[in-house]
Amino acid sequence: MPTFVLQNDGEKPPHSEPPFLTDVNDAQKKAVLHTDGPLLIIAGAGSGKTRVLTYRIANLLYQKKAWPNQILALTFTNKAAREMQERIVDLIGEKANRIWMGTFHSIFSRILRFEAEHLGYTRDFSIYDTVDTDRVIKSILQELGFNTREVKPQAVRFIISNAKNQLISPEAFKNKFVQSSLDDIAAQVYERYIARCRQNNAMDFDDLLIKPIELFEHHPEILQKYQNHFRYILIDEYQDTNHAQYRATQLLAAGHQNICVVGDDSQSIYSFRGADISNILNFKEDYPDSAQIPLEQNYRSTKSILQCADSVIRQNTSRLDKTLWTQNDRGEIITVLENYDERDEANRIVRSIEDLKMREHLSFRDFAVLYRTNYQSRVLEDAFRRRGVPYQLVGGISFYQRKEIKDVTAYLRLLVNPHDDESLLRVINEPARGVGEKTITNLQQIARKHNKSLWDTIGDVESTGIYKPAIGRIRDFVDILERTGKKLTDTGLTDTVRFLLDETGYVKQFVEEHSHDSLMRRQNVMELLNAISYFEKSSNTPSLSAFLQEISLVTDLDAHDTDDPAVTLMTVHGSKGLEFPVVFITGLEEDLFPIGGRSGEDVDIEEERRLFYVAITRAEKRLYFSYAKNRFRFGEQVDMNRSRFLDEVDPSVVRTETGATIRQTGSPGMAGRSGKSGTYISYDQSNYDGNAGAGSDFHSESYDSAAPADDGGGMGVEYDQNTGEIIWRSGMAVIHKKFGPGKIVQCQGQGDDARLTVFFKNVGQKKLVARLAQLKVIG
DNA sequence: TTAATCGTACTTTTT
DNA sequence: GTACGATTAA
């Protein structure tokens, strides 16, 4: 049970400001010192969000508003949680380790362990990742007689996962949400899938978010316990919360109402996982008494980089109003690298890095190469290896998703949770011991008939009447596990696992086979053994079940080592929250970034644009865009068109390597056609001289004055040469008599007849006809 | 009934 | 490149 400590009501909180509050600006300070009541912090990229969050928690403790373990801080990655925790420890000492700080999944699974019995689970439940889930779904599909080549388990998983995150039950889904034949199939699978998980005493990633809601709604007394306990709740990256996360935290916060959420709608990049932007957009409605503090000063990037980022993101229509600015230098111009193909691209990048490192006395750790899809990493790795430049690949196929690791952990899961049929199926013939497909289906049928788990069924294989030669082999399997289980109670964790590996001959199969592949696999298993050994020594609860829980929720992203003097290679998604002096964004091609929709599915171009925005804003000093004209895809060379995003970028801050500007022929707001036709590179060799406002603080409102066709001096308003009508542009700052200052988000037509969508600081977004609105252009 | 070999379709992002 | 499935040999 968690320790529930009463608040220290008697003690008087200190009235002075905390001593650590020296290096913050006014907005940050306001956010830190705000303690009670709901608070929304809109934190633009690089605006010192983590600092505010850590100071805010430290202040709550300093002001004696709560004990450390009465604070709940939720993040999306373990790494973010760990970093924040470390920083708070630096501020207020070791007691910060008692804060409930972690990812939604890890914190909720912790609560679920405590309360498992209330949900009909035991505290040793297994956690299924997507690989496990796909296997379960596949087997259900096969049972239902579907061809799993035509009906892809992943597609079904996707539909089910969406339904779960929307808190739609199988019954409700069947009645209301079936719109296609695939939906119909998913509806059939959904119910069985839930039943199967329950029988296996297993929860998938979605369950970790949903089950707490079920728990709270069915057991008000338990909800109340947690409501009372968590006096302050903080949520990072609120724009990425899905409906389930929203609902769960809403329930928890309902008591004290001390909920502080931090987010940036411009960085919402997880809608494919059910993230719902409206959670952050509607925070004000959910909590009418909430305060709202925007953090708009950027401390990370140069003016050029920020200008570039803003020129991209303002092409999106739906966003909260905010204006990022910085006092940093204008910095270097952004460089576009055009390449023949992906190998050319990779080599060019590696050479640029070596070059820049020498010239600017940088370390390899100052560089990051970002890409849209994981498979792009392969060519890059090749190039880095060939030139001997150290690199660190982050993400990709997670260590814990590798086949050999999943096999070993399936054995371990089975020890802790014998009713986990999925894990049993995974290893009953691994390594091959003569228990094949036929035997397994027979066993499953028998188990179903007696309504028993597979483990219970094979406990008495002799009486099952299955294929005779298999009986002895299964007996061996059961024996090994039973002896391993005994070993676990007698000796330590590491020894037990070593014993298991010996008995099963799992490692031996790799030793005997002398391929490169098997060597790698063996090394990976040894790596796992190391991890177990380390866990056993360092954890204060060194149980097998604790270890399994921990590894099921870590990702390779968490392994990113910022001290390692190596270039970081990762996806744009993985880079969120990080910063690097030099960033390369690669593969800027149509159908890659922005990604192309697969078979009929349409892509959310605004989300892709936000993704591009996230990538740009990772850069501190220098930024490179690169694309290839040809790329090897699906086993063949394909002609690629450069990304439309390159056409949307403010041309005044970007140059090709030769110093040419990149320009677009269409109007800036009209992106959408594929790249090549609408663009050209003009080879004017004029040096980059910044724009008219260079030297003054950079504001996004001044962007359009830097547009190529402009004189650069005046108000930046353009008029049609024939009619003399004003040409409206998105991004223009205007003033309305009634609504006050605002910014044009979208425009259609010119002159008085134009229809404009304007975002006003005070009243929000409005649609106007120019003639009636009487807008005054201010920049 | 099981194991090994060969051929084929597919690559978005992650807790 | 690779991870499945189908096909074949034992």
| DSSP letter for each residue of A682-706 | E---PPP---TTTTSPB-GGGGGGG
N residues, chain A: 779
Residue among A574, A599, A596, A597 at smallest CA distance from A587: A596
Residue A253, pLDDT > 70, answer yes
For residue A165, pLDDT beyond 80: yes
pLDDT at A772: 61
CA–C1' gap, A106 and B15, in angstroms: 9
A702 — pLDDT class (breaks 50, 70, 90): very low
- Tell me, what's the pLDDT at A464? 81
Position A689 scores a pLDDT of 34
Spatial distance between the Cα atoms of A258 and A60, rounded to a whole number of angstroms: 11
AA letter at A764: G
As given in the structure block, the two tokens for residue A350 are 């590696």
Lowest mean pLDDT among A404-418, A510-524, A661-675: A661-675
Distance A139 CA to C8 C1' (A): 25
CA A602 vs. chain centroid, Å, equals: 21
Q: Which residues of A are catalytic?
A: 49-50, 236-237, 267, 618
Per-residue confidence band for A679, with pLDDT thresholds at 50, 70 and 90? very low
Q: Do residues A308 and A653 touch, judged by C-beta distance below 8 A?
A: yes
Other residues' Cβ atoms within 10 Å of the Cβ of residue A699: 18
Secondary structure of residue A24 in the 3-state scheme:
coil
Least confident of A187-196, A282-291, A316-325: A316-325
How far: A643 CA to C9 C1' (Å)? 51
Which stretch of A158-162, A178-182, A218-222, A481-485 has the lowest confidence by average pLDDT? A178-182
Among all protein residues, pick the one whose CA is nearest to the C1' atom of B11. A375
User: Nearest nucleotide by C1' from A148 CA?
Assistant: C5
Average pLDDT over all residues of chain A: 83
Residue A700 reports pLDDT greater than 80: no
Phi, psi of A393, rounded to the nearest 5 degrees = -85, 120
* Residue A205, nucleotide of least CA–C1' distance: B15
C-alpha to C-alpha distance for A263 and A240, rounded to whole angstroms? 8
- Give, for A197, the enclosing helix (H) or strand (E): helix A181-199
Q: Quote the CA–CA distance of A650 and A663 in Å, as a whole number.
A: 9
Is it the case that residue A673 has pLDDT exceeding 70?
A: no
Query: Residue positions of A in the annotated binding site?
Result: 43-50
Ranges A85-99, A170-184, A720-734: which has the least confidence: A720-734
Give pLDDT, residue A493.
Answer: 93
Strand C: list positions under 7 Å from protein Cβ: 1, 3, 5-6
Distance CA A508 to C1' B14 in A:
33
Question: What pLDDT is attached to residue A696?
Answer: 31
CA of A438 to C1' of B3 (A): 14
The mean pLDDT value for A590-607 works out to: 80
Read off the pLDDT of each residue in A6-30 and give the average, rounded to a whole number. 69
> Taking the CB of residue A468, how many other CB atoms lie within 10 A of it?
7
Which position has the higher pLDDT, A122 or A430?
A: A122
User: Annotated binding site of A for ATP, which residues?
Assistant: 43-50
**Helix A153-165 × helix A243-253 angle, to 10°:** 30
In this model, does residue A158 exceed pLDDT 70? yes
Nearest nucleotide from residue A636 CA, by C1' atom: C1
pLDDT at A741: 64
Strand C proximity list, CB < 7 Å: A 138, 147-149, 378, 397, 403, 635
Q: A703: pLDDT confidence band, cut at 50, 70 and 90?
A: very low
Q: How long is the CA A426 to C1' B1 vector, in angstroms?
A: 19
pLDDT of residue A36: 93
The Å distance, CA of A556 to C1' of C3, is 21
Nearest nt to the CA of A396 via C1' is B14
Tell me if the bond preceding A542 is cis, omega within 30° of 0: no
Distance CA A319, CA A313 (A): 9
Tell me what pLDDT residue A485 has: 95
- Between the CA of residue A625 and those of A336, A362, A654, what are the distances in Å? 5, 20, 9
pLDDT at A755: 67
Q: Which nucleotide is nearest to A374 (CA to C1')?
A: B12
Model confidence, pTM: 0.81
Query: Whole-number Å distance, CA A434 to C1' C10?
Result: 13
Work out the average pLDDT over A613-630.
Answer: 95
> CA-CA distance, A126 to A203, in Å (whole number)?
6
- Of A327, A405, A304, residue with least CA distance to A649: A304
Nucleotide nearest the Cα atom of A138 (by C1'): C4
Q: What is the 3-state secondary structure (H, E, C) of A205-243?
A: HHHHHHHHHHHHHHCHHHHHHHHHHCCEEEECCHHHCEH
Top pLDDT among A562 and A209 is at A209
Question: How buried is A729 (Cβ within 10 angstroms: 0-12 exposed, 13-18 middle, 19+ buried)?
Answer: buried
Q: Which residue is nearest to nucleotide C4 (CA to C1')?
A: A149
pLDDT of residue A85: 92
Residue A466 CA distance to nucleotide C9 C1' (Å)? 24
pLDDT in tens, A431-445: 888 888 888 888 988
Range name among A13-27, A225-239, A600-614, A667-681 with the lowest pLDDT average: A667-681
Q: Which residues contact A760 (CB under 8 A, 6 or more apart)?
A: A321, A736, A739, A740, A741, A742, A766
Give the sheet arrangement for strand A334-339, strand by strand. A391-393, A567-571, A367-371, A580-585, A619-628, A334-339, A654-656, A661-664, A679-682
* Omega before A668 within 30 of 0, i.e. cis: no
Q: What is the dihedral of CA A749, A755, A761, A762, to 10 degrees?
A: 160
- Look at residue A714 and tell me whether its pLDDT is greater than 50: no
Q: Tell me what pLDDT residue A677 has.
A: 32
A89-93, A317-321, A362-366: range with lowest mean pLDDT? A317-321
CA angle (A311, A316, A317) in 5-degree steps: 130
- Quote the pLDDT of residue A645: 94
> Residue A507 is encoded by which pair of tokens?
């490692």
Distance CA A62, CA A66 (A): 9
The whole-angstrom separation of Cα A577 and Cα A394 is 14
Q: Can you give the pLDDT at residue A560?
A: 81
- Tell me which H or E stretch contains A183: helix A181-199
Give the whole-angstrom CA distance, residue A470 versus residue A489.
Answer: 29
Q: What is the mean pLDDT of residues A259-281?
A: 90
Q: Does pLDDT of A618 surpass 50?
A: yes
Which residue would you say has higher pLDDT here, A537 or A517? Answer: A537
For A136, A179, A241, the CA distances from A173, given in Å and listed in that order, are 20, 10, 22
What local confidence, expressed as pLDDT, does residue A737 receive?
62
Mean pLDDT, range A494-515, rounded to an integer: 87
Is the pLDDT assigned to residue A750 strictly greater than 70? no
Query: What angle do the packed helices A403-416 and A516-538 form, to 10 degrees?
Result: 40
With b for 16 or more beta-carbon neighbours within 10 A and e for fewer, the A409-445 pattern comes to: bbbbbbbbbbbbbbbbbbbbbbeebebeeebbeebbe
State the nearest residue by CA to the C1' of B12: A373
Structure tokens at A412: 């371990």
Q: In this structure, are residues A668 and A729 in contact, taking their beta carbons and an 8 Å threshold?
A: yes
pLDDT at position A717: 62
Helix (H, G, I), strand (E, B) or coil at A679: strand
- Give the confidence band of A5 by pLDDT, cuts at 50, 70, 90: very low
Nearest nucleotide to A634 (CA to C1') is: B10
Q: What is the predicted pLDDT for the residue at A739?
A: 64
